[in-house]
Amino acid sequence: VGQIPTVRITDQRGRGIRNVLVRWRVTAGGGRVVNDSSRTSSSGEASSGGWTLGTIAGTQTLTATAEGVPTVTFTATAAPGPVAVLARVSREAQEAVVNTLVPEPPSVRAEDSFGNAVPNVPVSFSISLGTGSLTGDVQTTNASGIATLGSWRLGTQAGQQIVRATALGAQGAAFLATGLPGAPVQLIRIAGDDQQA
């Protein structure tokens, strides 16, 4: 954090008390301090020496304790780092009849290198195998880091089709759909018509 957590221990008249042992302990977030303990100076001040936040995004806390006085708690909010990976939220593979919508539009969660959700990340979805069409192919991750494609209509050819989700600086994610032939609608003569024997 930018400012080093520091406390001041005073007497009843507000004068600093020297040489009091202060213990520093991270109580939430998994970070660390430079000094586990320190003693107050002539002005009654003692410092943690520095506070490095942990890898879990959200509220983190640090406490300072000294004998005979109430505990002091410092709080800091850790923001997620830059997006590193798009993790699949929806199914990786599914099936649908050709020229119809897949049952579950592809959905991803933008995460930093520690697995924290990253909001406000533009995510692009595109077809990388097969034909078909997409709607809402550019989405921005919500507060939970999730972006979901509007819809995916498979192409008219049966077989495997793939949509990829990408974001700048992140490892992307691929989604597979197998296009199934539709219901029979016509019986066509192939051979054997208009013969004589």
pLDDT in tens, 125-170: 999 999 999 999 999 999 999 999 999 999 999 999 999 999 999 9
3-class DSSP assignment, residue 22: strand
Distance CA 90, CA 14 (A): 60
Judged against a pLDDT cut of 90, whether residue 22 lies above it is answered with yes
Residue 184, pLDDT score: 65
Q: Look at the alpha carbons of 120, 147, 116, 177 in this order and tell me if their dihedral is positive or negative.
A: negative
DSSP line for 120-180:
S-EEEEEEEES--EEES-EEE--TTSEEE-SEEE--SS-EEEEEEEE-TTSB-EEEEEEEE
Residue 183, pLDDT score: 65
Residue 41, pLDDT score: 96
pLDDT in tens, 24-78: 999 999 999 999 999 999 999 999 999 999 999 999 999 999 999 999 999 999 9
Judged against a pLDDT cut of 90, whether residue 104 lies above it is answered with yes
Judged against a pLDDT cut of 80, whether residue 193 lies above it is answered with no
The mean pLDDT value for 84-105 works out to: 96
